Structure 1
Amino acid sequence: MDASEISWNEQARAKILEDSDRVLREAVLDIAGSGGSISSDDAFAQLNARLKDRFIDYEPGPDIRKYADAIAAGEFAGTS
């Protein structure tokens, strides 16, 4: 077997992605539901603080900024 053939099967890949989406969703909704207004930069910092230790080689990308902006804009108001 060649080393390039070593990978997760499709079922495991789907589970990994599902779990990572859940972690992101919980972080976004928790910060959004914490009450009060928050700046996009503060939301971005809080998201990064919650996510950085949950993933190997975590690097914030444009998706994290998108959710931080949405939190600051109150787009998740009333959800938890």
Structure 2
Amino acid sequence: MDTSDIRWNEPARQKILDDADAVLREAVVAIARENDGISSDEAFAQINARFIDYEPGPDIRTYADAIAAGEISPDDAG
């Protein structure tokens, strides 16, 4: 077997992505709920501090900007 053949099947891959999206969503909403008036830089740092061993992308900055702008409602979870 070639190592490139080792991969998750599509249902498992989708479940992993859905779970990862839910964890990210929960983190963004929790930071918004816990930090009224937070700056985008601080929100960005807090989002990144919740995850280990990954490189943040520009989408994380978008979420930090939305938290700072008050665009994330604490009622948006789930």
Q: Shared fold (TM-score greater than 0.5)?
A: yes
Aligned residues of 2:29 and 2:73 also touching (Cα < 8 A): no
Quote the residue 1:32 is aligned against.
Answer: 32
CA distance in 2, matches of 1:77, 1:2: 47
Cα distance in 2 for partners of 1:25, 1:78 equals 11
2:36 match: secondary structure: coil
Inter-partner Cα distance in structure 1 for 2:58 and 2:74: 24
- The list of structure 1 runs, each at least 4 consecutive aligned residues, that deviate by more than 4 angstroms after superposition, is none
Are 2:55 and 1:59 equivalent residues in the alignment?
yes
Q: For structure 1, list consecutive stretches of 5 or more residues without a partner in the other structure.
A: none
The residue number in structure 2 matching 1:11 is 11
Judging by fraction of residues, say which structure has more helix: 2
TM-score for both structures, normalised by structure 1: 0.86
Gaps (5+ residues) in structure 2? none
Report deviation, 1:24: 0.3
